[in-house]
Amino acid sequence: MASSRWWLYVQAIFWRFLMRIGMFLHEIGPPRPPRPLFTRTVTSDDHCHPVVLHFYCPPNYHEQRRLGHRFPVAVNFHGGGFTLGAATDDSRWAKIVLDTVGAVMVSVAYRRAPEHPFPAAVDDGVEALLYLARHAGELGLDVSRVALSGFSAGGNLAVTVPLRLRGRVSTEVKEHLGRAESTQNLLNQVSDLNVVALFAWYPILDFEESRDHRRAMSLMPDKTLPAFFTTLFDEAYLPNLEDRVSPYASPIHASDRALAEALPRDVFLFICEWDMLMKEGQSFVRRLESLGKHPRAMLIEKARHAWDKSPNPWRDQNGVDILYRDACADMKAIFDR
C-alpha cells in the first residue's frame, strides 16, 4: 500500500538532513571543489514556481564575458531520487568541467518530491534551458553548444528534459491556444538552443519495471539501493502509477521518433556494475544505436549506484576523477567541432 504524502515528507526531511552531512564529508577531502560563482532565479509567466540556477565559471569568466567571449554550457541535474540532494552536490564534477572543458556549468535546483511530484522536476529543467537561451548574451553563453549531464535522478532528467522540451514545442505549435506571439517566442528561444551531447551517470530510465524484479536480477542484489530508499523515491516522485510509463518519466518508453528528434547524436551513459539500473541502461544504448545515434556506454566495474558520492573523506577520489576527466575530454571534443 502506498504511503501517505505526509509520511513521505517526514522521511524525505530526515534523509535530506543526513545527506547534507554526507555531502559535507564528501567535499572536505582534497582537492576542495569550487563553489558557484553566482546564482540566478528563473521565473516566467507560464511557470509560477521559481527555479534557482547555480553557475560554476572558469577563473577568467568575467573578463572574457566583457570582451564578448561566449562559453559553451554544461547544464547539470543532481541526484537523490528526485527527493533528496542539492544543486551543489556535483561540485567535484564541476571542477573537472571547469578545468578540462573551460565551459560554464549551470546546476539546476529543481523542485523535489514529495512536495512537488512529477512532472515538476522535468518542467524545471525545461525552464532552465529556456532561461539560458533567453539570457545567453548577458551571461556570455554560447547556447549553440550545450551539454546536459546528470547523476541518478539527474541522469534521468538529462534525457527527459529535451524530450519534454520537444513535446512542449510540438503542443504549442499544434494548438496555439490563441497565443501565437507566445508560441513564436518559444520557437525563437529553441532555435538558438542546441544540445550537442548528454552525459548520464547511472540514470534511472524505466519506472514501470518493479524495483523488486530489478533488484533480484542484479549481479549483486545485496549491493543495490535498499528498498526503503527506492520505495520513498518512487512513491514521492510518481504517486500516480499511470505516470510511470510517461516518456517524460521513463524515457525508455518514448517513441522512436521522439528519441530521434529530441536527443543529440552523442549520448554517454555511465553504468555501475552492481546497480539494479545496469540492464536498462544497456538496453537504452542498444535502442539509441538502432536509431542511428552514437551512444557510448561505460561500465564501471564493481561499483555501486552513486559510488562517486561516497562520504568517506579518504576514498579514492583520483579513481573517480579519471572517469570524470575522460567524460570531459569527450565533452570538449564535441564542443570544439
Mean pLDDT across the chain: 93
Q: List pLDDT tens digits, range 77-96.
A: 999 999 999 999 999 999 99
pLDDT of residue 48: 74
Check residue 170 and give its pLDDT. Answer: 72
User: What is the spatial distance between Cα 149 and Cα 75, in angstroms, rounded to a whole number?
Assistant: 6
**Exposed / middle / buried, residue 165 (Cβ in 10 Å: 0-12, 13-18, 19+):** buried
pLDDT of residue 216: 93
- Comparing 29 with 17, the larger pLDDT belongs to 17
Q: Which CA distances in Å does 264 have to 88, 199, 241? A: 26, 11, 29
Q: What pLDDT is recorded for position 201?
A: 98
What CA–CA distances, in Å, run from 8 to 186, 210, 225?
A: 36, 19, 17
- The secondary structure of 262-305 as a DSSP string is HS-SEEEEEEETT-TTHHHHHHHHHHHHHTT-EEEEEEETT--T
pLDDT of amino acid 2 = 64
Q: Determine the Cα–Cα distance for residues 330 and 250; give it in Å rounded to an integer.
A: 26
The confidence score (pLDDT) of residue 188 equals: 61
Instruction: Give the pLDDT confidence of 161-212 residue by residue, as tens digits.
Output: 999 999 988 765 555 554 555 555 655 666 689 999 999 999 999 999 999 9
* Contact partners, residue 226, CB within 8 Å, separation at least 6: none
CA distances from 174 to 178, 199, 225, 247, 256 (A): 11, 31, 42, 19, 20
What domains are defined for the chain? Answer: 5-336 (3.40.50.1820)
pLDDT at residue number 184: 55
Q: Using pLDDT thresholds of 50, 70 and 90, give the confidence band for residue 34.
A: very high
Interatomic CA distance for residues 176 and 327, integer angstroms: 40
- Output the nine-digit C-alpha cell for 155: 541522469
- pLDDT tens figures, 246-272: 999 999 999 999 999 999 999 999 999
Q: Is the pLDDT of residue 226 over 80?
A: yes
Q: What is the mean pLDDT of residues 130-156?
A: 97
- State what percent of residues in the chain have pLDDT above 70: 92
Asked if the model's pLDDT at residue 104 lies above 80, the reply is: yes
Find all residues with CB under 8 Å of 293, minimum gap 6, and list them.
Answer: 259, 260, 263, 264, 265, 266, 267
DSSP β-bridge partners for residue 42:
51
Average pLDDT of the residues in 43-67: 89
CA dist 229 and 83 (Å) reads 10
Residue with cell 505516470: 243
The pLDDT assigned to 267 comes to 98
Q: Is 79 exposed, middle or buried (0-12, 13-18, 19+ CB in 10 A)?
A: buried
CB 44 within 8 A of CB 127: yes
